Structure 1
Amino acid sequence: MLKFIFVTILVIFFIRLVAPILFRWLLAFFVKKSLRNGTFFYSNMNQQRPEPQSNGNGRRQGDVKIDYVPEQPDRKDFNGGQYVDYEEIK
């Protein structure tokens, strides 16, 4: 039982005091490293995107084909909807 309490206190101590300091140090290390390499802000700037492949019928893969566009009804007769009377209760 005493060993359990001791280990619990050590874990709480580590989480409460040591982990934030360790996390700040690791975060600063990785940010400095990426700033030094020049990859912090411009990580994907020099990479070329692959060109989509053609699927045989003249269109590239990923293109969208719209066969039918329905007609939109005229909205000139719209009066703003129905209004409902209400009573304010105090």
Structure 2
Amino acid sequence: MNPLITIVGPTAVGKTDLTLELAEQLHAEVISGDAYQVYKQLNIGTAKPSADELKRVKHHLIDILEPNDSYSVSIFQNQAKEIIGRLNDRNILPILSGGT
């Protein structure tokens, strides 16, 4: 079984800073586990990573849907499993980070 780091907690506890620090040190990529960061244009109240943070570390499942698109836990699970599989195939450590 391949490793997966998971960082969870409520908004504003430092998940983003910890995730970025670990990802840079471990050459990992981040999978957003936030229910709202998947939506484009929903930037206020979602604590999305900044443009600079997105440049520093590759992120997945951010800004992939229009605000009126539906999303579910099942869809998230399928997408996350696919991304984790691709990262494992490339020997890249996935970090799953989110709070909702």
Q: TM-score, normalised by structure 2?
A: 0.22
Rg comparison, structure with higher value? 1
Q: Give the helix-richer structure, 1 or 2.
A: 1
Q: Give the strand-richer structure, 1 or 2.
A: 2
Q: TM-score, normalised by structure 1?
A: 0.25
